[in-house]
Amino acid sequence: MPAAAAPCLDDIRSTFGFFDAWQDKYAFLIDIGKSLAPLPEADRTEGNLVRGCQSQVWLVPHFDGDKVHLAIDSDAHIVRGLIAIVLAAYDDRPPRQILDFDIEGLFDELDLIGHLSPTRGNGLRAMVARIRNIAREHAAS
């Protein structure tokens, strides 16, 4: 399947705004999840696993000048959809911007956490915490 362009935050915000039914939200999540570039098998290592996620989530950061580039993948489609949203907020941004971004506000606005089981929500927060740590370390280096 040809990978569609990764959605940007504005697209995600406006698309979510149209949805009432849970099916639409999930269909969209699954859809943007499918558009996510898969992580090479070699990067799907134990060391790259994000702890605290119910499904397996691998995260590999790269640094390009002062920008943090994130490659994240999961074995579950809905989680890949959540990753696509997290990437839209964080990917290819300087650490300062990552640390300043109000991601909880975004989740509230999209009413994401409310639609997730608590364990899923915790997994999402574990992913966010890992990314913020990476940004903090990169900013300090």
- Judged by CB under 8 A, which of 22, 51, 64, 105 binds another protein? 22
How far from the centroid of its chain's Cα atoms is residue 99's Cα?
15
**54 contributes a contact to another protein by CB under 8 A:** yes
8 an active-site residue? Answer: no
Q: Which two tokens stand for residue 11?
A: 């697209």
Task: Please report how close the Cβ of residue 77 comes to another protein at its closest, in angstroms.
Answer: 5
49 lies in the binding site for another protein (CB under 8 A): no
Return phi, psi of residue 119, to 5°.
-65, -40
Backbone angles phi, psi at 7, to 5 degrees: -75, 145
> What is the distance between the alpha carbons of residues 113 and 133, in angstroms, rounded to a whole number?
21
CB 8 → another protein: shortest distance, Å?
24
What residues line the site for another protein (CB under 8 A)? 22-23, 26-27, 30, 54-55, 75-79, 115-117, 120
